[in-house]
Structure 1
Amino acid sequence: MIRLLTLLGIFAAGGGAAQAQYNTGTGSNPSSHTTSGYTRSTGTYVQPYTATNPNGTQRDNYGTSGNYNPNNGTFGTRTPRY
């Protein structure tokens, strides 16, 4: 019984920490599009990528803090400007 309570306590603490990652974002926009690679005017080549469709907010973009990008397995880090 003590082992069970200890395990439950560990899972509850771990689950709370994992949940905190998602609290700052609103969840990624389910609508996305691919962008072809291109060369900037500075000569830097930009690889093709997938981005969320524009919708008037940055809070659901892949790069916004708390949101997950399923295409490359990363979490966003940017603070939205609007």
Structure 2
Amino acid sequence: MKKMIVFACALMATAAFAESHLRSGYVTKNGTYVAPSYATNPNNTRVDNYSSQGNVNPYSGRVGTVDPYRQPTYQPSQPRCGANQYGQYVCH
């Protein structure tokens, strides 16, 4: 019985890892390094994302906190304007 429980846990963990992909690390415009991370594969639902409530990220152990049923609010992006390191006024 104990072996069966261990096998079931291993099988579930394997399934969780198979439903994800590795995102490469990168450097942002301001020079900040973002480390590589895993993400769930794209699909038509938000309930199975690692960050959704009721889920646990198998890589980090973090518990999801985002309500998957709450509709996202999209706001048009506003240009960011200001002086750059050369004193020039620019908008991004």
TM-score by length of 2: 0.51
Say which one has the larger Rg: 2
Paired-residue identity, %: 49
Out of 39, 44, 56, the position equivalent to 1:68 is: 56
Q: Looking at both structures, which has the greater relative contact order when contacts are Cα pairs under 8 Å and sequence separation is at least 6?
A: 1
Which 4+ runs in 1 deviate beyond 6 A? none
Per the alignment, residue 32 of structure 1 pairs with 20
Number of aligned residue pairs: give it. 55
Specify which structure has the higher proportion of helix.
Answer: 1
The unaligned stretches of length 5 or more in structure 1 are: 1-27
* Aligned CA-pair RMSD: 2.2
Per the alignment, residue 53 of structure 1 pairs with 41
TM-score by length of 1: 0.57
The unaligned stretches of length 5 or more in structure 2 are: 1-15, 73-92
